[in-house]
Amino acid sequence: MDTNANLYADLKKVLITREEIAQAIRDLGQKITSDYQGRKVVMLCILKGAVVFFSDLIREVDLPLTIDFMAVSSYGASTKTTGVVNLVKDITCDITGMDVLIVEDIVDSGMTLSYLKKYLSSRGAASIKIVTLLDKPERRRVDLQADYFCFTIPDEFVVGYGLDYAEKYRNLPDIGVLHPRIYGGEDA
């Protein structure tokens, strides 16, 4: 029995397979390991979307590091950003003098990360860099670039590997384009 049938049935197509994701994360982990030698690293997971990526990535980074979590919200049950970012959960460790790597699932409009960068620099971090699994550059509304990313994707709404639509599909092991009929989009 294909126990994933219900989730996969809502996809227009699989965009990135779990094997491709695993390979990209191994490469990214090696790059971070060599770039951050001798630094005081904090890897900061942005809940909830980045949690799957984060847990795989930190195990590919061969450095002493600490981890922390933040949660922000901007979407609700919609596929478009509201542009307003709310801080839902703050960090719990002191990041003064630390080299912070913000780990996100996707950079879309860029509003979330531009808010987070400003917020964290006000907390005294020595450096702040952005690590994202996916980058959707066509949709950018602010001037923001990820320092590290795994995949550039087209302007389509994707789910899986942590990414949700209305809190669903986070447990899908691959990344897929959600069928527009699920959210009443154009070619529904």
Task: Tell how far CA 188 is from the center of its chain.
Answer: 27
Shortest Å, Cβ 4 to ligand IMP? 18
Burial 60-73 (b: 16+ CB within 10 A, else e): bbebebeeebbebe
Q: Write the binding mask 24 to 63 for ligand IMP: x where contact by CB under 6 A, - elsewhere.
A: -------------------------x--------------
The least CB distance from residue 75 to ligand IMP, in Å, is 5
Q: Which residue, 35 or 137, has its beta carbon nearer to ligand IMP?
A: 137
Q: How far apart are CA 9 and CA 28, in angstroms?
A: 31
Residues sharing a CB contact under 8 Å with residue 38, sequence separation 6 or more, in sequence order: none
**Which of Mg ion, ligand IMP, none is residue 42 near (CB under 5 to 8 Å by kind)?**
none
Q: Which is nearer to Mg ion, 29 or 49 (CB)?
A: 49
Strands in 9-147 per DSSP E? 11-16, 41-47, 65-73, 86-89, 99-107, 127-135
Residue 163 interacting with ligand IMP (CB under 6 A): yes
**Minimal CA–CA distance to 158: which of 21, 25, 11, 50?**
11
With binding defined as CB under 6 A, does residue 75 bind ligand IMP? yes
Residue closer to ligand IMP by CB (options 40, 179) is 179
How many residues sit close enough to ligand IMP to count as binding (CB under 6 A)?
17
Q: Which residues form the interface with Mg ion (CB under 5 A)?
A: 49
Determine if 74 is a binding residue for ligand IMP (CB under 6 A): yes
Scanning residues 97 to 156, which ones bind ligand IMP (CB under 6 A)? 104-112
Active site residue 108: yes
Helices (H), 103-168: 111-121
Do residues 129 and 144 lie in contact, with contact meaning Cβ atoms separated by under 8 Å? no
Cβ atoms of 108 and 155 within 8 Å: the answer is no
- List the catalytic residue out of 56, 108, 164, 174: 108
Q: Which residues are known catalytic residues?
A: 108
